[in-house]
């Protein structure tokens, strides 16, 4: 019996059914591709770094490499990570600083016992992510901290007054070695000097300069940045700040708007022996096969700062069970996503509901008190008693407006200690009711996070490290395979019969 190729109309009807199936499937599948039936079953050793650098399985995608500020991938030479106490104290300091900048009057009612500024380490930048950026002609490359909460990009320049260069080689920019450097502002109606102070007492001040900046593969002329001549405090492995906040005309986002259309994305690596990536422009979106977008919101009325990225967090699920908390909890005074805050700070009622639900799902692991002097995380477990090498962990999903469901990487759920025997829930409650909720970088690990500022939207993509493709990705590639199979059969029969399907020339 002869095999008849379907007509164009029948062909497109068939493909429409396949597409409808795919869209229905994707609409109910969270970003990242979580574990089966709402649980992760994982080998703890697979979530901890090895002693050597591992090339990314797909994380770079042609962008700027992102590394931890310490560990085998770090170019700083710092192999040992900061202590947990340092990281947690620093996290609280950053949260205070963010809220001080957002609100016109910062509340003085917050308890200041063990979290007083006097007890904080001097650095504002402990434990963050670094990206390698080139300045000048010829290029001088520097490792900068990624900061979505700062509009100002500044780097350490020679002749600054710090006594040491953070034990790094080539950590300063030397203006005299660049043939294209211009001392002063190259943006009309902006200052020629800058002075930035952080809540913990560290600071940077100097002059603005203009020069080429290399955001691979692009090289941009006449980029204005701060050239630090006087810095106080230890900024760790960083040689400055790459400011990715919105708003100010001298921000990187504004200066590169004509080139990159106010679009960028990053992928934070989940462990220290891997690299992530930072992308700018249309490729920040096109490099990911599937993205789900929620809105970037305007700050609530009465808040002064518009540089932070407010998002519409509306709920949380644990093991596929939605927490019984109102979305209004996250809306007043608002929720931001931040690259420098470490763990996620939730409204107290939401955090208590999350903690209770998580504890109910972790009854197979013996609970333990949190370590002394570590007050940030309070829900901890002895992993030795969880039933062997592999443990079962409930999936946690963040729900955003626009039907965007983001399933977190296991390391965005548990903070696993170095000895591999203890771990704590990597969330905390807000320290003051008036504070904004903050989605920290721990919960962003291994996710593709896309900022489309011009479009007013924030996107989340699948596992950006290429470590475990989500069901969304498999469905997409499966759909393309079926499409191409049908198309190939039709074209083969059409070529034999002389019939041409003009509408089948473009493959998605």
Q: For the segment 47-90, what is each residue's pLDDT rounded down to a tens digit? A: 666 665 555 544 455 689 998 877 666 666 565 667 788 888 88
Cα gap 86→68, rounded to integer Å? 16
pLDDT-based confidence at 138, cuts 50/70/90? very high
CA dist 215 and 174 (Å) reads 19
Q: Start-end ranges of CATH 2.40.70.10 in the chain?
A: 30-469
Task: Note every long-range contact of 489-498, with CB atoms under 8 Å and residues 24 or more positions apart, other chains counting.
Answer: 489/5, 490/5, 490/6, 490/11, 493/3, 493/4, 493/5, 494/5, 497/5
Positions annotated as catalytic residues are: 147, 338
Q: Per the structure block, which two tokens stand in for 30?
A: 């969270």
pLDDT at 419: 77
**Placement of tokens 């969880």 in the chain:** 386
Q: What is the pLDDT of residues 421-433, one digit of tens each?
A: 899 999 999 988 8
**What does the alpha-carbon distance between residue 288 and residue 44 come to, in Å, rounded to a whole number?**
28
- The end-to-end CA distance of the chain, in Å, is 32
Whole-angstrom distance, CA of residue 67 vs CA of residue 149: 19
Mean pLDDT (whole number) for 279-288: 89
Confidence check: pLDDT of 324 > 90 = yes
Task: Report CA Rg, the chain.
Answer: 25
Task: Indicate the angle between helix axes 471-497 and 8-27, nearest 10 degrees.
Answer: 180
Beta-bridge partner residues of 399: 315, 405
Q: Which of 109-118, 122-131, 339-348, 399-408 has the lowest mean pLDDT?
A: 109-118
**pLDDT value of residue 491:** 54
Residues 66/129, Cβ–Cβ less than 8 Å: yes
Average pLDDT of the residues in 422-448: 94
**pLDDT for residue 318:** 98
The yes-or-no verdict on residue 325 having pLDDT over 80 is yes
Lowest-pLDDT choice from 180-194, 315-329, 467-481: 467-481
The residue that leads in pLDDT, 167 or 44, is 44
How high is the pLDDT of residue 467?
A: 45
Domain 30-469, what architecture?
Beta Barrel (2.40)
Task: Please state the pTM of the whole predicted model.
Answer: 0.81
User: What does the alpha-carbon distance between residue 98 and residue 147 come to, in Å, rounded to a whole number?
Assistant: 12
Q: Please state the rounded mean pLDDT for residues 254-279.
A: 92
Reduced to 3 states (helix: H, G, I; strand: E, B; else coil), residue 351 is helix
Mean pLDDT of the chain: 78
């Amino acid at each position: 019996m002869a095999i008849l190729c379907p007509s164009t109309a029948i062909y497109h009807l068939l493909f429409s059914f396949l597409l409808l199936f795919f869209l229905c499937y994707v609409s109910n599948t969270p970003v990242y591709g979580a574990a089966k039936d709402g649980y992760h079953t994982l080998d703890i050793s697979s979530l901890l770094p090895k002693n050597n650098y591992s090339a990314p399985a797909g994380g770079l995608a042609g962008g700027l490499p992102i590394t931890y500020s310490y560990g085998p991938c770090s170019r700083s030479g710092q192999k040992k990570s900061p202590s947990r106490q340092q990281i947690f104290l620093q996290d609280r300091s950053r949260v205070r600083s963010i809220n001080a900048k957002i609100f016109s009057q910062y509340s003085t009612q917050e308890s200041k016992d063990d979290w007083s500024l006097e007890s904080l380490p001097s650095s504002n930048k402990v434990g963050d992510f670094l990206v390698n950026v080139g300045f000048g002609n010829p290029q001088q490359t520097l490792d900068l901290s990624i900061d979505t909460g700062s509009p100002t990009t500044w780097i350490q320049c020679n002749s600054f007054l710090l006594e040491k260069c953070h034990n790094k080689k080539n950590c300063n920019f030397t203006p005299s070695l660049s043939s294209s450097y211009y001392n002063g502002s190259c943006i009309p109606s902006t200052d020629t000097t800058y002075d930035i102070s952080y809540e913990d007492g560290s600071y940077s001040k100097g002059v603005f300069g203009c020069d080429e900046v290399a955001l691979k593969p692009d090289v941009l002329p006449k980029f204005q940045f701060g050239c630090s001549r006087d810095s106080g405090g230890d900024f760790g492995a960083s040689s400055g700040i790459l400011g990715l906040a919105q708003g100010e005309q001298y921000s990187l986002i504004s200066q590169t708007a004509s080139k990159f259309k106010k679009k960028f994305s990053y992928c934070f690596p989940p462990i220290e022996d891997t690299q992530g990536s930072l992308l700018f422009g249309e490729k920040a979106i096109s490099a990911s096969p599937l993205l789900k977008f929620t809105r970037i919101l305007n700050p609530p009325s009465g808040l002064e700062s518009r540089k932070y990225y407010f998002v519409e967090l509306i709920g949380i699920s644990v093991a596929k069970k939605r927490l019984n908390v109102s979305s209004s909890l996250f809306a007043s005074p608002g929720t931001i996503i931040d690259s420098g805050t470490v763990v996620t700070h939730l409204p107290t009622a939401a955090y208590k509901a999350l903690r209770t639900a998580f504890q109910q799902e972790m009854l197979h692991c013996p609970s333990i008190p949190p370590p002394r002097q570590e007050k940030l995380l309070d829900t901890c477990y002895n992993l030795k008693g969880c039933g062997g090498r592999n443990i079962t962990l409930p999936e946690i999903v963040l729900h955003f407006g626009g039907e965007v469901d983001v399933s977190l990487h296991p390391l965005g759920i548990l903070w696993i200690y170095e000895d591999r025997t203890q771990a704590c829930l990597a969330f905390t409650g807000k320290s003051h009711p008036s504070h904004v909720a903050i989605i920290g970088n721990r919960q962003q690990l291994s996710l593709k996070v896309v900022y489309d500022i011009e479009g007013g939207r924030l996107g989340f993509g699948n596992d950006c490290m290429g470590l475990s493709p989500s069901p969304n990705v498999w469905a997409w590639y499966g759909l393309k395979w079926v499409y191409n199979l049908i198309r190939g059969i039709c074209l083969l029969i059409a070529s034999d019969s002389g019939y041409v399907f003009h509408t089948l020339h473009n493959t998605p």
